[in-house]
Amino acid sequence: MASHRRPTQPGPTRSARVTVLSAALATAAAALGAAPADAEPGATVTPRAARSTVDGLFDQAEQATELYDRATERADLLRARLARTQDGIARGQQRLNLLRGALGALAGAQYRAGAIDPSLALLLSSDPDTYLDRAATLEQAGVLQAGDLRQVRQAQRALAQQRADAHHDLDELRRSRTQVARHKRAVQEKLDRARKLLKTLPTAQRAVYDRASRSGGGGLPPLGALPVSGRAAAAVLAARGAVGRPYVWGANGPHGFDCSGLMQWAYAQAGVALPRTSQEQRYAGRQIPLSQARPGDLVVYRSDAGHVGMYMGNGQVVHAPYPGARVRYDPVDMMPISSVTRV
């Protein structure tokens, strides 16, 4: 998301930015009082170099935020699936208890008659492994009808499979939580370094990052064309209404957003469920050329699809630009465009 934060004059190329990113630690240290390792003795870091490093740190923070969003979404899905599995286990155990209760009634009747078949006692064993290993004996014993026996065996096996699934999901949930925590630390590290570096910029340069929406705080700019559908129109109205709300990494509204969270929330107001991350959102519809873009289309940026905004017409998008800024309008070509998606 670096390009849309630059002053009006052209900024460094993508390859130059990659070079800066690879030296982010050295540059940040230089801006805080130490010169980069390859600098001449007594050299100082220029505001332009500092801005480039801040841009790179914000880019890295946004990429880490997308990974955080993806891991969080995965953890949420796993929690929901685990809850459903546990409900299924409870129902399966209840069904098995009923089946075993029926067998117990049969055993009681035999006992009252003065004898209980040893094979039926085996079936009522509380050890499922013992039961499954020796169930064939019961079939041959003829104590129960074959259909009754199959029901008990199927219920026992289904319950064992559900428990195995729950164990697998629980392990994966633990791994997903670890990923969430790791990506969260990465985001916070990048943002902390960027904030420290911003403090070293002259006031005029720092204002580039603090500026308000390009709408100027006045009325909303007119749409350049009509949305292609009613749901796109509803999403556009929601996104326009979000202008001025803060960028909050990992948030998808309604009081704060990251870039993909804003798109997801805006389309949710139109009754459309978008995926959580910008990488997934680029495939949430039909890809079209930028020349055919209309309000409501998603504009995905950079080769890594790490940023997304919503086209509003008149060459503008609404997007959540970067931490510390607010949802605002910016030119659609603020950075390299990866694709345009019509939902």
Residues 336, 245 share a domain: yes
Residues 196, 78 share a domain: yes
Q: Is 264 exposed, middle or buried (0-12, 13-18, 19+ CB in 10 A)?
A: buried
- Tokens at 232, concatenated: 């796109």
Residue 133: the pLDDT is 56
Residue 147: the pLDDT is 61
* Domain stop point among 187, 210, 233: 210
Residues 93, 176 share a domain: yes
Domain count, the chain: 2
Give the structural domain span for 291. 215-343
Residues 232, 197 share a domain: no
Q: Is 4 a catalytic residue?
A: no
Residues 98, 38 share a domain: yes
* Domain stop point among 210, 234, 261: 210
Out of 167, 168, 183, 259, which one is annotated catalytic? 259
What is the torsional sign of CA 233, 235, 241, 247?
negative
Q: Is 183 a catalytic residue?
A: no
Residues 112, 41 share a domain: yes
As a whole number of Å, the end-to-end CA separation of the chain is 22
Q: Is 167 a catalytic residue?
A: no
Residue 299: the pLDDT is 98
Q: Kindly give the confidence (pLDDT) of every residue in the chain, 343 residues in length, as a single tens digit, with 9 standing for 90 and above.
A: 444 443 333 333 333 333 333 333 333 333 333 333 333 434 455 767 777 787 777 777 777 777 788 777 777 777 888 788 888 888 878 877 777 676 666 556 555 555 555 555 555 666 655 655 555 444 444 444 456 666 777 777 877 887 888 778 777 778 777 877 787 788 778 878 877 877 777 777 776 655 543 443 444 666 667 888 999 999 999 999 999 999 998 899 999 999 999 999 999 999 999 999 999 999 999 999 999 999 999 999 999 899 999 999 999 999 999 877 899 999 999 999 999 999 9
Residues 156, 279 share a domain: no
Residues 235, 169 share a domain: no
Residue 111: the pLDDT is 57
Residues 306, 230 share a domain: yes
Residues 225, 180 share a domain: no
Residues 225, 167 share a domain: no
Residues 328, 251 share a domain: yes
